[in-house]
Amino acid sequence: MNSFILQTFNGISYAALLFLLASGFTLTFGLMRIVNMAHGAYYLFGGYVGLTVAKLTGNFGLALLAGGVAAMLLGYVCDRTVIRRVGDDHLAQVLITVGIAYIVGDVSLKIWGGDAQKLPLPLFLRGVIELPGGIVYPLFRIFLTAIGIAVGVLLWLIYRRTQIGAAIRAGVDDREMVSATGIHVDRLFVIISALASFLAGVSGVLGGAFLTVFPGAEWEILVFALVVVIVGGLGSLEGAMIGALIVGLLDAYGRWLAPELSYFVLFGPMAVLLLFRPRGLFGSANMT
């Protein structure tokens, strides 16, 4: 029973990480119809920058910020120079952003080397906490979960309770309509893009602290994030939350019960979904 609770917590904390990455991806697609495969690369780059900052300054908060900002800047540059040019063509978007991811991945390899590196944690985040029932759990994972929930709540409030959120939701439903209402669509796009890549960078730093940063991490985490949005539905914030939870938990249980086939648990929910509801739990029918 203890193992089960332990794995559940593992699943939830991983879900928090996945949500941070997937939420940006799903909103970017929902609003701008852009599929950004470089999202994993933003994660990686943010993680590496955060790693360097953490090693130099010993300040974790600074590392988080640096990682987020670095990813945000990278995202902005990529967006303005290259991604904007291809418009709605999803094939082109995928290929171009994969190209960007390759470049970022390779350059990162050159700069930071090929070893898996763990982000040094500040003292107050190291160690374990004792939970009722005698379960001992890493403090950092709880911290991660807390951040995930906090960001989730914040995003949800903005999405559902503010005017900007209403504009975003309207935009997800009908882009042309939004520009007709006079809201500055371009500015909205820039904000969402920036937010998405910032979150990607931050999640890179957080991931780097307990999963390590390593070449290839950008694809591993991206695929998980993609399954999250497939299950949850592209363009849906709630979908990203529920999807992340499902994927996180299944991954944890899978690793615990059948480690050699654990990747297979990713396929399960996808297959079920494909059979009964191809657009995901909360996806809208007209998303292509």
Partner 1 sequence: MTQRRKILIVVLLAAALTWPFIGGQYGTSLMTQIFIFGMLALSADLLLGHAGLFSLCHAAFFSVAAYTTAILQVRYQVPTALAAPAGILMGTSLGLLFGLSVRTRGVYFILVTLAMGYVIWGIGYRWASFTGGDSGVTNVPAPSIGGFTLSTMLEYYYFVLAVLLLVMFVYHRLIRSPFGLALRGIKSGEARMRSLGFSPPRHLYTAFIVSSFMASLAGVLYAYFNKFVNPVSASLHVSFEAVLMALVGGTATILGPFIGAGIILGLRNWVSSFFELHLAVMGLVFIIVVTWAPDGVIGLLKRFIDRRKAGADHG
Q: How far is the CB of 170 from partner 1 (least distance, A)?
A: 20
Q: How far is the CB of 123 from partner 1 (least distance, A)?
A: 35
The residue from 76, 137, 210, 219 that contacts partner 1 (CB under 8 A) is 219
The residue from 229, 237, 241, 246 that contacts partner 1 (CB under 8 A) is 229
Interaction of residue 85 with partner 1, rule CB under 8 A: yes
Interaction of residue 29 with partner 1, rule CB under 8 A: yes
Give the position of tokens 């991604």.
83
Task: Name the one range near partner 1 by CB under 8 A: 56-64, 147-155, 204-212, 262-270.
Answer: 262-270
Interaction of residue 253 with partner 1, rule CB under 8 A: no
Q: How far is the CB of 71 from partner 1 (least distance, A)?
A: 18
The residue from 176, 182, 260, 285 that contacts partner 1 (CB under 8 A) is 260
The residue from 103, 128, 146, 153 that contacts partner 1 (CB under 8 A) is 103
The residue from 116, 154, 160, 263 that contacts partner 1 (CB under 8 A) is 263
Interaction of residue 246 with partner 1, rule CB under 8 A: no
Task: Name the one range near partner 1 by CB under 8 A: 90-98, 118-126, 162-170, 237-245.
Answer: 90-98
Interaction of residue 99 with partner 1, rule CB under 8 A: yes
Q: What's the per-residue H, E or C state across the chain?
A: CHHHHHHHHHHHHHHHHHHHHHHHHHHHHHHHCCCCCCHHHHHHHHHHHHHHHHHHHCCHHHHHHHHHHHHHHHHHHHHHHCHHHHCCCHHHHHHHHHHHHHHHHHHHHHHHCCCCECCCCCHHHCCEEEECCCEEEEHHHHHHHHHHHHHHHHHHHHHHHCHHHHHHHHHHHCHHHHHHCCCCHHHHHHHHHHHHHHHHHHHHHHHHHHCCECCCHHHHHHHHHHHHHHHHCCCCHHHHHHHHHHHHHHHHHHHHHCHHHCCHHHHHHHHHHHHHCCCCCCCCCCCC
Q: How far is the CB of 127 from partner 1 (least distance, A)?
A: 30
Task: Name the one range near partner 1 by CB under 8 A: 4-12, 56-64, 157-165, 228-236.
Answer: 228-236
Beta bridge partners of 135: 131
Residue nearer to partner 1 on the CB measure, 47 or 283: 283
Interaction of residue 82 with partner 1, rule CB under 8 A: yes
Task: Name the one range near partner 1 by CB under 8 A: 9-17, 54-62, 157-165, 221-229.
Answer: 221-229
Cβ atoms of 20 and 26 closer than 8 Å = no
